[in-house]
């Protein structure tokens, strides 16, 4: 699977930019939203983030090239590469760390850790 890195919308009256610097080179792993290339306009310099994780497969617009909005700057190959699997739930029972207490036992535990300090009382009308 390949994903295109494109020139984003640059502003109301800006229609093109110049590729200033590639921050990644072909073959390098990239993460989603990681800056991969810098673009310059007459008004601003901006970093273009990777639209997906993977490996930079190809640079289609070299440094110093003028590119219009929407032009393809490069290609990300292997869209799934570089994506860490989502960690599963922690083991329950005697394995790993124990879960914090919940419900009634949590209230009892928290009252023990307050050092016997009473709960604050209201001072408004109807309290007393």
Q: Quick one: tokens of 87?
A: 């960690």
What is the CATH number assigned to the segment(s) 2-77?
2.40.50.100
Virtual torsion, Cα 104, 109, 114, 119, nearest 10 deg: 10
Count of CB atoms situated within 10 Å of the CB of 85: 5
User: Does residue 7 register a pLDDT over 80?
Assistant: yes
Distances (CA, A) of 94 to 1, 38, 97, 99, 101: 42, 51, 8, 10, 14
Structure confidence at residue 78 (pLDDT): 79
pTM of the model: 0.60
Kindly state the percentage of the chain with pLDDT values over 70: 62
Domain ranges of the chain: 2-77
* Of 76, 70, 80, the residue nearest 2 (C-alpha): 76
């Amino acid at each position: 699977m390949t994903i295109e890195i494109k020139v984003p919308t640059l502003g109301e009256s800006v229609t093109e930019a110049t590729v200033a610097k590639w921050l990644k080179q072909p073959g390098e792993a990239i993460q989603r939203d990681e800056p991969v290339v810098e673009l310059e306009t007459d008004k601003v310099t901006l970093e273009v983030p990777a639209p997906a994780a993977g490996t930079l497969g190809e640079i289609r617009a070299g440094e110093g090239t003028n590119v219009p909005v929407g032009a393809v700057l490069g290609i990300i190959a292997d869209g799934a590469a570089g994506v860490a699997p989502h960690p599963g739930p922690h083991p329950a029972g005697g394995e790993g760390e124990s879960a914090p207490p919940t419900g009634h036992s949590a209230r009892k535990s928290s009252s023990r850790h307050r050092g016997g300090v009473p709960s604050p009382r209201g001072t408004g009308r109807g309290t007393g």
